[in-house]
Amino acid sequence: MSIALRSLLIAPVLLAGSALVAADQAVDFLSFRSSVPDAWVAETPKSEMRQLQFKVLASPGDEVGDGAEFVVYFFGPDQGGTLEANIERWQSQFRGPDGAPVEPTVTQIGTEAIPATLVELRGSYGRSVGMGPGDDVQADRMLLAGVIETPDGNLFPQMHGPAELVAAQREGFVAFVKGIQPVGQTTP
């Protein structure tokens, strides 16, 4: 079934305290299903650890380098580190305007069945695999990172890029996380 056809079969997602968000593109990965905004452009994942990968542009016709990236990582059962270790690593990659560490905003956004945590950081960002900033530090960036606890292992959705663009896409990111369901179930 095509992404477009599947998207017609999934109901809109209602976020607590917000307006109705259309579930534009249904996405299936591993044994899960959710949706992402229609404007997000699917890309071939760059590695086996990336289950989904999308480019998010500020407006049609923008250069790819101007956009944000949305990725869902899965490392396997009991892999990928604890929530606390990931928050510490992500935080170490950010600095405020004065060079001081940036405090993350951490919010529980999951359900009893599928617990999920959202971590938000904004500042100068040097994305890297390990602790501390990488070589290419960029100003006024934002990271939305999730840890979704599933029986199969944790999922790690992330969106990073220009702060204003990522902030504008926050609702779609949260809708993706809250919409995660095992294949065969539908979003309430």
- Determine the pLDDT at residue 62: 60
Task: Give the predicted TM-score (pTM) of the model.
Answer: 0.81
Angle 44-49-53 (CA atoms, 0-180°, nearest 5)? Answer: 35
Residue 4, amino acid: A
Report residue 179: phi and psi, to 5°. -85, -5
Among residues 76, 74, 157, the alpha carbon closest in space to that of 118 is found at 157
- Determine the pLDDT at residue 130: 55
Among residues 126, 144, 143, the alpha carbon closest in space to that of 135 is found at 126
- Determine the pLDDT at residue 27: 95
- Determine the pLDDT at residue 126: 84
Give domain limits for the chain.
Answer: 3-182
Residue 172: both structure tokens together:
């779609």
- Determine the pLDDT at residue 66: 73
> For every one of its 188 residues, what pLDDT tens digit does the chain have, with 9 covering 90 and above?
333 333 333 333 333 333 344 448 999 999 999 999 999 999 999 999 999 999 998 776 665 567 999 999 999 998 999 999 999 999 999 999 898 999 999 999 988 889 999 999 999 998 765 555 556 788 999 999 999 999 889 999 999 999 999 999 999 999 999 999 998 755 55
How deeply is 38 buried, as exposed, middle or buried, from its count of CB atoms within 10 A (0-12, 13-18, 19+)? middle
CATH top-level class of 3-182: alpha beta
Whether residue 158 contacts residue 142, with contact meaning beta carbons closer than 8 Å, is answered with no
